[in-house]
Structure 1
Amino acid sequence: MKPGITSSGLQSTGLADIQGRLLLARVVVLIIVGLLVVRLWQLQVRDGVYYRNLSHDNRTRSVVLHPVRGFIYDRNGVLLANSVPIFNLYVELGDVSDREALIGKLVELLSLERSELTGIMDTHAGGTPVRLKKGVSLKEAAIIESHRLDLPGVVIRPEFQRNNPEGGYAAHVLGYVGVASEEQLTREAVQGLPAGSVIGQYGVERIYEKTLRGHAGRKLIEVDALGHEKRMISVDKPQVGNDVYLTIDFRLQKLAEDLLGEEAGAIVALDPQTGDVLAMASRPSFDPNALSRGLRADVWNDILQDKRHPLTNRAIQGQYPPGSTFKIITAAAALDTNEIEPADTLHCEGRFRLGRRTFRDWKKYGHGEVNLRKAIAQSCDVYFYRLGYRMGVDTIAFYAGQFGLGERTGIDLPAERTGLIPSSEWKKRTRGEPWYPGETTSVAIGQGYVTVTPLQMAKVIGMIGNNGTPFQPHVLRGVWGRKGEWIDEWSPTQTTPLTLPAHQLETIQAALAAVVTEGTARESRSSVVTLAGKTGTAQVVSLRPESEEETPKRFRDHAWFVAYAPFERPRIAVAVLVEHMGHGGSAAAPLAKELIETNVWVWGGAKEP
């Protein structure tokens, strides 16, 4: 073989191989280009809308703007509840890839509890912002902002916090607010509210939630890769809630609470001609600011387990034996059924025998000859034992019902209790036992099964003072709208009047005036205004030592006093109940006297000393 021919053949073979590889490369490139074109078509044409929306969602976020709650004022425009701006710390869990690292950084920067942060994050899923801390200080806010690159998803938001400028005063009337639970958000009254919404949990804040709440807004923002806001795209501003004006007069409210001091009890003051609640005090109380700001679970449990029950509004939820204040009802029943005439007398020797039982009077040796006026003024038990025994429990129950006892007054506050007015039918139905005559004697003086609330007794004494005409108690005076006008004003609502004739009411009124001038409340006679009222001492236990000093306080009697003034045309009706303080004349009547005299000064009827 010739060398030249061999070299030329090899060159031809190599060239053909290179050309084949180039052709294969072209085919591969064409296939890749084709695949890229197909993929680009899928991304931009077929799935273009989907990916454009996905891209948009990844860089924008909708943020809820919670509204400012309306303010609450007393009848004279004294501010009782408002909203103040604060900074709150939130985290968007969807932006957090390493929770442990984030928690560690927050603990380092803000000295927060690791366990608390872990618990908060573990109990929330992604999708909604989670509040990590309420009320961030300016120093803490500056620290967060300076380390924002180390805190993915962490944001500080300006919001509003409920505030009661007068602290704990009127706490049971005003109530408090809190973040709505998942269960609460399913209720019809708040259904549709965004997660994290603050709603009324108690008192006026709860009853008038829709009025005070306003409407939430939203803003659309652009965020960076760490979830931090870059710019605002659009905003739908929240609508501020409406303001609520109450019938409460804060001057009387503060005085009523101060008069109770540290003693457990309640004071209610009404305008008997309208049903306006002028004051409603309940002790012990609580700090609505602390509850509205949020409490740790252990602190909240301590409040719930407090044996003094500070969350109970004793004015409408406390159910107590009325003691001798109930003699007003027994007297009305006896007069209307002709069981007694005002001038008729009964002899009281300090005890009433019924079968083998002896029912004793509070006055050991009795009151002697007693007519209706003296029986009420001196609070003669034996007189009313006899009347009750004659009439029977069902007659007493019927007239108690006329005074609205045994049922709710309908006041615009939550969880009002009914009290209890027993009857023979009630005992048979609930206990499967017949009614015994001896039980009637106890009922006739407000003991036994009878229980009432202080509000009910304020309404009772107000009915007597207002000549048998009752009005539904209420705390709302009106709603002031954002446009600067009244959008709702309360009109007095008259309820079913007493059927007692005028002369019988006048007899009872005169006897109640005698209670203060010559009877069990004579030490509370006023030089400023003429009072009419009735003392009461409600027995807590049936057996106790003769000496009150020897009796542990928790077993001592409750002190009652109900009154109205001025006698000629009442402007105020008051019920005072002080737990375990003994006699109504010494422990409760002086409190009512001071409150009533202050009301006279408030209305301009006398000069304050």
Structure 2
Amino acid sequence: MAMNPQNGEILAMVSWPSFDNNLFSGGIKTDEYQKLINNPDKPLFNRVIGGTYPSGSVAKFVVAAAALQEGIITAETSVLSVGGIYVGKWFFKDWKVGGHGRTNVFSAIASSVNTFFYYIGGGYKDFEGLGIERLTKYMRIFNLGEKTGIDLPGEDTGFVPSPDWKKQTKNEIWYIGDTYNLSIGQGDLLVTPLQVAEWTAAIANDGNLVTPHLNYQIEDPIKNINTTVNLPFKKTGIVSAETANTIRKAAQSCVTNGSCRLLTTLPFTSGGKTGTAQWSSTKDTHAWFTAFAPYENPKIVITVLIEEGGEGGIVSIPIARDWLMWWGKKYLTQ
């Protein structure tokens, strides 16, 4: 999906597999409707607003912003990634064997360094992290676990786990490992693609939450009224402009030096984040990518999710790149 990060206007929304809208124009036949509702791929289900998925690493925008805002880190803070961390007998790994070396917020987002987010999310040894209370607080500040308020039916809230929820539903205590998993967008966290676009927009527009909407204009030919829909920000200043700017720079580093390098083929600047979300021990990961462009004055956010697509940096980025290329030629050259 694509959205204007300055006002929440939905520019494009695609949920696949889809269906032929013409079937409904004159009253759909019973057998045709039964085929649609019995289709195991659920073509009538709008995955953009109603599908909930583990976010994987695209949530690192939110976690890094929270750590900056709370003073857990600065833009210069670094930790040493050696491939993962041990807590007792449990090992929480980086995706890169041997680690990434000395890592700050820019390289951590560019290369999706899990160790950095274990540190800033849950803390490690004498390094103070956010902890689960502040971590979930900022997730809710960024509107995770809540509807965005889009003017369409069927929106899901997603889900932000907590120690109380785990105790009540699983009769288990909350472990530091749960906080580590949440810090990298795994565990029981669930988000919609629209929510990912919404928090990407907040990073792009200096820390304001938009209300996504499809309605662009309201016309009343009888009263000769033509009104453009211009919704105010839902929340302003959820993080400081300085924090948002630091995350934007980190997102740009993902394009220039990290897993988003395919976007360097665009004729304009951008920032982004890949995500590869584990959700099953037997099935492929979900492939995420979210981005904004141009970097200097963002006019568009694009978020791509391919269910069971594999790696976001391989599968989802090409789709976003092609769409952004078309958009740039059509709108940035005017």
Q: Shorter-normalised TM-score: what interval?
A: over 0.9
User: Once the 2 structures are TM-superposed, how far is the Cα of residue 288 of structure 1 from its aligned partner?
Assistant: 1.5
Report the Cα distance in structure 2 between the residues aligned to 1:400 and 1:483, rounded to whole angstroms: 45
1:425 corresponds to:
164
Select the structure with the greater relative contact order (CA < 8 A; seq sep ≥ 6). Answer: 2
User: Once the 2 structures are TM-superposed, how far is the Cα of residue 500 of structure 1 from its aligned partner?
Assistant: 2.4
- The letter for the 2-side match of 1:581 is G
User: Once the 2 structures are TM-superposed, how far is the Cα of residue 421 of structure 1 from its aligned partner?
Assistant: 1.1
1:327 corresponds to:
60
2:302 corresponds to:
574
- Contact 1:348 1:367 survives alignment (8 Å): yes
Bigger proportion of residues as strand: 1
The answer as to 2:11 corresponding to 1:278 is: yes
| 1:55-89: CA deviation from partner (whole Å, max 9, x where unpaired) | xxxxxxxxxxxxxxxxxxxxxxxxxxxxxxxxxxx
- Contact 1:329 1:396 survives alignment (8 Å): no
Q: How does 1:245-264 map to 2 (within 5 A)?
A: none
- The letter for the 1-side match of 2:143 is G
The answer as to 2:263 corresponding to 1:528 is: no
Q: 2:290 aligns with which of 555, 562, 578?
A: 562
User: Once the 2 structures are TM-superposed, how far is the Cα of residue 488 of structure 1 from its aligned partner?
Assistant: 4.6
- The letter for the 2-side match of 1:354 is V
- Contact 1:270 1:277 survives alignment (8 Å): yes
Q: How does 1:42-441 map to 2 (within 5 A)?
A: 268-390=1-123, 391-441=130-180
SS of structure 2 residue aligned to 1:283: coil
Report the Cα distance in structure 2 between the residues aligned to 1:586 and 1:277, rounded to whole angstroms: 25
- The letter for the 2-side match of 1:439 is D
User: Once the 2 structures are TM-superposed, how far is the Cα of residue 316 of structure 1 from its aligned partner?
Assistant: 0.2
User: Number of matched residues?
Assistant: 328
2:333 corresponds to:
606
Report the Cα distance in structure 2 between the residues aligned to 1:412 and 1:510, rounded to whole angstroms: 32
- Contact 1:402 1:498 survives alignment (8 Å): no
SS of structure 2 residue aligned to 1:282: coil
Report the Cα distance in structure 2 between the residues aligned to 1:494 and 1:598, rounded to whole angstroms: 28
Report the Cα distance in structure 2 between the residues aligned to 1:296 and 1:347, rounded to whole angstroms: 62
SS of structure 1 residue aligned to 2:216: strand
1:508 corresponds to:
247
- Contact 1:403 1:498 survives alignment (8 Å): no
- Contact 2:145 2:159 survives alignment (8 Å): yes
- The letter for the 2-side match of 1:598 is W
2:201 corresponds to:
462
Report the Cα distance in structure 1 between the residues aligned to 2:166 and 2:228, rounded to whole angstroms: 43
- Contact 2:266 2:321 survives alignment (8 Å): no
SS of structure 1 residue aligned to 2:14: strand
State the TM-score, normalized to the length of structure 2.
0.93
| 1:175-205: CA deviation from partner (whole Å, max 9, x where unpaired) | xxxxxxxxxxxxxxxxxxxxxxxxxxxxxxx
SS of structure 1 residue aligned to 2:143: coil
The 10-residue stretch of structure 1 (513-522 or 365-374) with the greater mean CA deviation from structure 2: 365-374
The answer as to 2:219 corresponding to 1:486 is: no
SS of structure 2 residue aligned to 1:293: coil
- Cα 1:527–1:306 change in 2 (3 A) is closer
Report the Cα distance in structure 1 between the residues aligned to 2:196 and 2:286, rounded to whole angstroms: 14
SS of structure 2 residue aligned to 1:476: coil
Percent identity of the aligned residues?
A: 38
Report the Cα distance in structure 1 between the residues aligned to 2:268 and 2:223, rounded to whole angstroms: 39
| 1:136-191: CA deviation from partner (whole Å, max 9, x where unpaired) | xxxxxxxxxxxxxxxxxxxxxxxxxxxxxxxxxxxxxxxxxxxxxxxxxxxxxxxx
State the TM-score, normalized to the length of structure 1.
0.52
User: Once the 2 structures are TM-superposed, how far is the Cα of residue 506 of structure 1 from its aligned partner?
Assistant: 1.8
RMSD, matched Cα:
1.7
